């Protein structure tokens, strides 16, 4: 008769202070720790049911994994929420969102996540982890809020006490508990509605909810199509993403510390719209390497740069627009033809009888 073996003793909790020190040593700006309990499914399901994800169909995939770390990593006990600040002092003028002017934050997070895993294996040999940035299944903003990094504001961004909302996020699941978890952050928006009022396209049907169908970030980054006609005039000044709801936020109006120097603007991030629209594919491939701008692809960036031209600048760029109106890319040629038609409508002489 075989002996009955006693259950294996649970591994002792890790030191929360040691885990945080390891993350900071890997150049993360902020780190917090939360229990790996399942997230509430209500907000995500309502957003999906109302079609507010637009063309982001993948957000409806693998829902159990998005909501429960234990489905992704059996035995998950701790979520490490991580942030990298990207605010640069005296940011140069650009019509590209601040986070995308320098190095692609995905690469920075992935490099640092790998380094963090190595440090954790020294602290706890045999520890199992799962890590991802926002292209993975983890819901990085709810976890950052639970882990005390900040609160999700009315603009849907995570707002941190020290760095405002100028942060990018990642998470790491651990199959080990820690000896102390951080308290969730409280919402400090109060009665302020500057982000809701300031949005160029009224993309907030309610506080904290972004309707991607109306969001300029979606139409300049994720969508392969020309923006709907009513939204096209709103793209002026926005080549890749939109910072308006962050720029008007009082939490971003303070004297904030500088973020990671790797996020400093590269040449492509400071080009004019005319320069971006006129790039050759070879120039774009060289200049965009290692930048988040690659997400919109060559034709997407040129399309956006055309639509972002203010009327006076478009008038000066007429020769370029006429050349691009015959471009082999349908979205580029379509954008150029539309802007030219808008210019023609503005410059047509008015019939005195219509006065």
State the catalytic residues.
134
Which residues does 306 contact at the CB level (< 8 Å), separation at least 6? Answer: 273, 277, 321, 324, 332, 335, 336, 339
CB 227 within 8 A of CB 219: yes
**Could you tell me where the DSSP H helices lie in 174-252?**
194-198, 216-217, 244-247
Residue 14 is given by DSSP the state: B
Bridge partners of 158, per DSSP, are: 152
Q: Tell me the torsion sign for CA atoms 206, 209, 212, 218.
A: positive
Which residues does 300 contact at the CB level (< 8 Å), separation at least 6? Answer: 220, 221, 224, 331
Query: Which of 239, 59, 51, 241 has the alpha carbon at shortest distance from 140?
Result: 59
Bridge partners of 34, per DSSP, are: 79
């Amino acid at each position: 008769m075989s002996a009955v073996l006693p259950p294996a003793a649970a591994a002792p909790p890790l030191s929360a202070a040691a885990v945080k020190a390891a993350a900071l040593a890997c150049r993360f700006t902020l780190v917090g720790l939360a229990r790996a309990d399942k997230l509430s499914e209500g907000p995500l399901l309502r957003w999906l049911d109302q079609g507010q994800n637009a063309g982001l169909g993948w957000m409806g995939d693998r829902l159990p994994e998005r909501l429960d770390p234990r489905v992704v990593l059996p035995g998950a006990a701790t979520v490490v929420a991580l942030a990298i600040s990207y605010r640069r002092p005296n940011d140069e003028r650009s019509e590209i969102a601040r986070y995308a002017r320098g190095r692609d934050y995905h690469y920075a997070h992935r490099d640092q996540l790998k380094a963090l895993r190595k440090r954790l294996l020294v602290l706890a040999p045999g520890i199992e982890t799962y890590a991802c940035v926002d292209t993975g299944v983890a819901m990085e903003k709810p976890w950052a809020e639970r882990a005390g990094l900040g609160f999700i504001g009315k603009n849907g961004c995570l707002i941190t006490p020290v760095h405002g909302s100028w942060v990018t996020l990642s998470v790491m699941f651990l199959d080990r508990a820690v000896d102390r978890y951080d308290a969730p952050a409280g919402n400090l928006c109060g009665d302020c509605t500057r982000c809701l009022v300031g949005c160029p396209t009224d993309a907030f049907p309610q506080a904290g909810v972004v309707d991607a169908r109306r969001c300029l970030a979606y139409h300049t980054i994720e969508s392969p199509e020309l923006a709907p006609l009513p939204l096209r005039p709103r793209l002026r000044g926005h080549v890749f993403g939109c910072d308006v709801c962050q720029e008007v936020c009082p939490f971003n109006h303070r004297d904030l510390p500088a973020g990671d120097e790797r996020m400093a603007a590269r040449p492509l991030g400071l080009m004019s719209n005319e320069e971006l629209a006129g790039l050759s594919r070879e120039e774009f491939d060289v200049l965009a390497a290692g930048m988040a701008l690659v997400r919109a692809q060559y034709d997407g960036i040129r399309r956006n740069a055309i639509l972002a031209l203010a009327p006076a600048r478009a008038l000066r760029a007429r020769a370029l627009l006429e050349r691009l109106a015959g471009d082999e890319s349908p979205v580029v040629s379509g954008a150029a033809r539309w802007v030219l038609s808008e210019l023609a409508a503005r410059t047509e002489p008015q019939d005195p009888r219509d006065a």
